[in-house]
A and B are shown apart, each in its own frame.
Chain A
């Protein structure tokens, strides 16, 4: 068995996951980051997207919101706004949210609203992406 590290994923409404993991692939702001045990200590910001991590040889997949990750040689802490398993995501709701966000993006409004819509869109896309792989 390969080396493991302590993985902790905390969402703002619950402790999402806590346990040993062999590898995690994080959706960082500059692309996906693969992290294994004994990784150099690092801090990175996380963008809404899908996270994959390996527990006992089995890959788990989940949708994350914005947040950040602290990576240390023997542990990884991921602190995010939201985290959901694929089976918890309401596809129809996410689909509707995507349409709404796209609609708002088309009718470009104030800059602030533009950022809101963009963030909402990427959250919805992350949810849909994760569910598509499973179902």
Chain B
């Protein structure tokens, strides 16, 4: 019966797809384990880094330095904004890429002069199709983040900022809110703004910190270091979120494939039973007519 064959072909194709999704599930869950370990190791650094920087800025309210310069001389609409957007290299990760890209587009709609630093293939290809302005020679992936890659990205950004090609730098990445929940987030990297840093923490020391040898020299080292640390931390977090998103997406794909196969096998058995019944009917009625 044609219907039976159709169902069988359908089941076969679902089974094959399920094999792929299941394999991807297993791969991403083992990658997630690794990524999460790196994340756990990096988290204390990431938190201390931010806390210490906030602390330092809290103690030095009126510092003037290039990295704090809001460039107010430039009219607001002429300012060039750079966005570092971290996406995956591959799709099939549920809403992971989509969320980051959507948030980036939302942010970019606010101003006319944007330049994109896309980390990861999916984001780069998407924005290339959209004909957004992309940075030249910026080909980085977010697979297994390394400090070396963070250093290279930081140098590109800092260089552009110092030359005045970029006025503001934002980072769009996925943050792990809890181990089970990830959210896309935008953070302003440059210029550093003290306003944001005046946090709820109570001030322990009223006097202000000294800088050795001088505020300029310290900030020249400290800010790039902070940005490098931040980019590294964000990359690690995004990578972990990516694996997590892919794992859950693949798990639900496998589950629904199983569901479909169960329903189809029910249909298949019914069709088979109907075919057998009909055949028996035919045989019986054929035998009956011979008797007569």
- Residue A60 CB within 8 A of the other chain: no
B218's partner among A8, A68, A73, A112 (CB-CB below 8 A) is: A68
Interface pair A15/B44, CB less than 8 Å apart:
yes
Which B residues touch A12, using CB under 8 A? 42, 45, 147, 229, 232-233
Interface pair A79/B49, CB less than 8 Å apart:
yes
Q: Please report the C-alpha to C-alpha distance between residue A13 and residue B44 in the assembled complex, in whole angstroms.
A: 9
Tell me the residues in window 28-79 of chain B with beta carbons closer than 8 Å to chain A beta carbons: 38, 41-42, 44-45, 48-49, 52, 55-56, 59-60
Q: Please report the C-alpha to C-alpha distance between residue A28 and residue B218 in the assembled complex, in whole angstroms.
A: 10
Interface pair B205/A72, CB less than 8 Å apart:
yes
Which interface class (under 10, 10 to 19, 20 to 34, 35 or more) fits B?
20 to 34
Also in contact, A70 and B213, with CB within 8 A (given A12-B42, A45-B222): no
Which B residues touch A38, using CB under 8 A? none
Interface pair A40/B225, CB less than 8 Å apart:
no
What's the nearest-Cβ distance from chain B to residue A37, in Å?
15
- Residue B290 CB within 8 A of the other chain: no
Interface pair B210/A40, CB less than 8 Å apart:
yes
Complex: chain A residue closest to B44, CB-CB: A15
Tell me the residues in window 84-104 of chain A with beta carbons closer than 8 Å to chain B beta carbons: none
Interface pair A42/B212, CB less than 8 Å apart:
yes
If over half of A's interface residues share one DSSP class (helix, strand or loop), that class is named, otherwise mixed; here it is strand
Which A residues touch B205, using CB under 8 A? 41, 72-73
Interface pair A43/B210, CB less than 8 Å apart:
yes
- Residue B139 CB within 8 A of the other chain: no
Q: Please report the C-alpha to C-alpha distance between residue A77 and residue B45 in the assembled complex, in whole angstroms.
A: 11
- Residue B217 CB within 8 A of the other chain: yes
Interface pair A44/B42, CB less than 8 Å apart:
no
Q: Please report the C-alpha to C-alpha distance between residue A11 and residue B225 in the assembled complex, in whole angstroms.
A: 12
**1/0 per residue A1-18: CB within 8 Å of B?**
000000010111111000
Also in contact, A11 and B45, with CB within 8 A (given A41-B205, A42-B209, A44-B212): yes
Tell me the residues in window 183-236 of chain B with beta carbons closer than 8 Å to chain A beta carbons: 204-205, 207-213, 217-218, 220-222, 225-226, 228-229, 232-233
Tell me the residues in window 18-41 of chain A with beta carbons closer than 8 Å to chain B beta carbons: 28-30, 33, 40-41
What's the nearest-Cβ distance from chain B to residue A58, in Å?
25
Complex: chain B residue closest to A30, CB-CB: B213
Which B residues touch A28, using CB under 8 A? 212
The interface of chain A, by Cβ under 8 A from chain B, is: 8, 10-15, 28-30, 33, 40-45, 66-68, 70, 72-73, 77, 79, 81-82, 112
6 contacts across the A-B interface (CB closer than 8 A) = A10-B48, A29-B221, A40-B210, A41-B210, A44-B218, A68-B52
3 nearest A-B pairs in the assembled complex, by CB-CB distance: A45-B221, A30-B213, A44-B212
